[in-house]
Amino acid sequence: MAIFEGICTALITPLTERGVDYEKLGKLIDWQIEQGVDAICICGTTGEASTLSDKEHKDTIAFAVDRAARRIPIIAGTGANETAYAIELTRFAAEAGADAGLVVTPYYNKTTQKGLVRHYSEVADCSDMPIILYNVPGRTGLNIEPATYLALSKHGNIAAIKEAGGNVSKIAETMALIGDSMTLYSGNDDQIVPLMALGAKGCISVLSNVMPAGAHELTRRALAGDFAGALELQLRWLPLINALFSEVNPIPVKAAMAAMGWCENFLRGPLYPMEDATRLLAEMRAAGIDF
Report, as residue numbers or ranges, the catalytic residues: 134, 162
- β-strand partners of 103: 133
Q: What three-state secondary structure class fits 224?
A: coil
Q: Which of 4, 9, 5 is nearest to 210 (CA)?
A: 9
Quick count: other Cβ atoms within 10 Å of Cβ 271?
Answer: 17
CA dist 264 and 159 (Å) reads 35
Q: Which of 146, 186, 193 is nearest to 166 (CA)?
A: 186
Instruction: Yes or no: say if 152 and 118 are a contact pair by the CB < 8 Å rule.
Output: no
CA dist 36 and 144 (Å) reads 31
CA dist 135 and 265 (Å) reads 28
CA dist 195 and 172 (Å) reads 9
- C-alpha dihedral (290, 189, 206, 267), degrees to nearest 10: -110
